[in-house]
Amino acid sequence: MTRQAIHPSGAPRPLAPYSPAIRAGDTVWCSGQIALDPATGQIVGATAAEQARQALRNLEAVLAAADCTFGDVVRCTVYLKDMNDYAAVNAVYAEFVTDPAPARVAVEVSRLPKDALVEIDAVAWKPANA
């Protein structure tokens, strides 16, 4: 099995030495996305809901570069600065995922890159030749 790095043009550049996604066989492993504006590299949004929307847009761009959509996502992790934002982030998340919704974990963390309020990663499954 080969590993192929995915570098989308419509998503923010990585903040460290990692690939935005790696395709390994039929699985696409997407790195966590925060609410960075792809053009400026600055955080977008003051609330967790606003930041979740931008993080999901960034994740959508990463998925598209791997020829995937949220319909191909089988697993997500949502990292929250404050678990009190859980409902607000879920409302935004529901706008992006399709039924059946992916398996998911949501955890509260002490700090995220650039002091973001939300980070979201994903694993998608789609045969490379489909």
Q: Which domains does the chain have, with CATH numbers?
A: 3-125 (3.30.1330.40)
Q: Kindly give the confidence (pLDDT) of every residue in the chain, 130 residues in length, as a single tens digit, with 9 standing for 90 and above.
A: 689 999 988 888 888 989 999 999 999 999 999 999 999 999 999 999 999 999 999 999 999 999 999 999 999 999 999 999 999 999 999 999 999 999 999 999 999 999 999 999 999 999 867 6
pTM for the full model?
A: 0.95
Q: What is the pLDDT of residue 1?
A: 67
Q: What is the pLDDT of residue 60?
A: 97
Name the DSSP letter for residue 36. B
Contacts of 125 (CB under 8 A, 6+ apart): 26, 27, 28, 72, 74
